Amino acid sequence: MKPISKPEKYIDGRADQRRVSRIKLATIVSMDSSKWDLELSSPANAPELEMLLDKYCDRSLENNLFFEKTFLAAAFGRMNRGETSLITLWETIDSVRHLRMYFPVIREQMGIPGKKVWRCWSHNFAPLGVPIVGEIDASEVLDRFLQMMGQIKDSKYPALVFSDLPLNGTFAIRMREAFKNSNTSYCQIRLGQRAVLQRNMSSPANLTLEINSKMRRNYERQLRRLSELGDMALECVSGYKDVILRFEEFMLLEAKGWKGHNGTSMHTIKQTAAFARQAVTEAAKDGNCAIYSIRLNGKSVASPVVLKSSGVYYPWKIAFDQDFSLYSPGALLLFKVSETIAAADDFVRADSLAGTRNKLVPPLWKQRMEMGAIILAVGDTPHLEIEKVAAAIERKYKAANWLKNIHERGKSGAR
């Protein structure tokens, strides 16, 4: 398999020297003379990645903010110690190549003994592994994708894992339909739930922020108690320059808390800070980022960063001043933010990006989204091998939960 250089183009009259290294994994020529290519791309840097994804123009089958061009470019090369690549599916019609599907992948070892697999890349700052698939002719695109995944020969990676996947989302549903028409071996596993806030489409006026009167009174009482400490204000900024300023404040606030003490805050880790600044800045340029805060005497005591895309809102990260933890400022602000985004004209739903173990979101957002993974065979990998990978993922998930339980019990005992 030989790398494929991109055709030469010109920028401002000069030859564009950038190249995107690509390996052709499989090819199909259909009966209508269109040609399909499944490729593994390895852009050397973020500008090359953006150049590659400029070929994508369809609406997505299912939205994923974190795989959109600007956010992915910010994360590429910064948020993973191993090699991150891009799987792309192209259709060539009359010599014009159209990008129909793409998603980033990393190489991981799973199980004992370890098995190398491709995993659709998701991480703590982007916990959503939904590939970008064109909405137009999506069924054909997924059929072609599975057909070509089955054609890959001599792969070092016997399985492809889609993790952090909403199992009742549009992509997962359409994939299960595609498997019915395919000989591809696959497994689906359930790995918990995630809190969501969903617009009630049968009655749009009812925005389903299911807070009973007792809970609402408690939140309002806590806000009054906090306001007694000084001049309190609720602020929201969404302008480009204001977001940049407030995000620096946000990172310093996070660094003052337990993440800063553990050395895991954004501000502490140089590459993470660079990624976060770029991601937030690019989102703000497009009007897709807002930073909220409770301000006491002009100083932020709680602040979430909220991203959005196509009517889907994501409370991405939240920080609060632990000196005011008695007043639960993070929960209070999330309550007010939930009311605000649920009342927005473009609101469709909000994804908490957090599991049910999270202490802030589940009490406010009562609806749940089933999360899990789909593991599919690469080439002629037997089904037994796919089951072993699925079992390894389940063991890892259970072990992580066990460690979290131990940690939480330790914290409770320390009090």
Co-location of 346 and 297 in the same domain: yes
Q: Give the pLDDT confidence score for residue 201 in this predicted structure.
A: 57
Question: Quick check: is 2 in a domain?
Answer: no
What domain count does the chain have? 2
Greatest CA separation found in the chain? 73
Co-location of 104 and 131 in the same domain: yes
Co-location of 399 and 323 in the same domain: no
Co-location of 172 and 235 in the same domain: no
Task: Please compute the mean of the pLDDT values over residues 320-328 and round it to a whole number.
Answer: 89
Q: Whose CA is closest to 292, among 335, 323, 352, 327? A: 335
Q: What is the pTM of this model?
A: 0.88
Tens digits of residue pLDDT in 107-129: 988 766 677 899 999 998 999 99
Task: Please compute the mean of the pLDDT values over residues 175-186 and round it to a whole number.
Answer: 94
Q: Domain containing 258 — which CATH number?
A: 3.40.630.30
- For residue 318, what are its two tokens? 């939240």
The SS3 assignment for 184 reads: coil
Contacts (Cβ under 8 Å, ≥6 apart) of 28: 35, 36, 144, 147, 148, 151
Evaluate if residue 268 carries a pLDDT over 90: no
Residue 336 belongs to domain spanning? 209-364
Q: Give the pLDDT confidence score for residue 7 in this predicted structure.
A: 41
The SS3 assignment for 407 reads: helix
Region of poorest pLDDT, from 11-15, 21-25, 114-118, 219-223: 11-15
Share of the chain above pLDDT 70, in %: 89
Tokens 């019915």 -> residue: 180
- For residue 288, what are its two tokens? 């897709």
In terms of pLDDT, which residue wins out, 114 or 8?
A: 114
Q: Domain containing 181 — which CATH number?
A: 3.40.630
- For residue 392, what are its two tokens? 């390894």
Give CA–CA dist 43/105, Å, rounded: 12
Tens digits of residue pLDDT in 213-238: 788 888 889 899 999 999 999 999 99
The chain-wide mean pLDDT, for the chain, equals 86
pLDDT interval class at 414 (50, 70, 90): very low
Question: Quick check: is 7 in a domain?
Answer: no
Evaluate if residue 16 carries a pLDDT over 70: no
Distance of CA 136 to the CA centre of its chain: 22
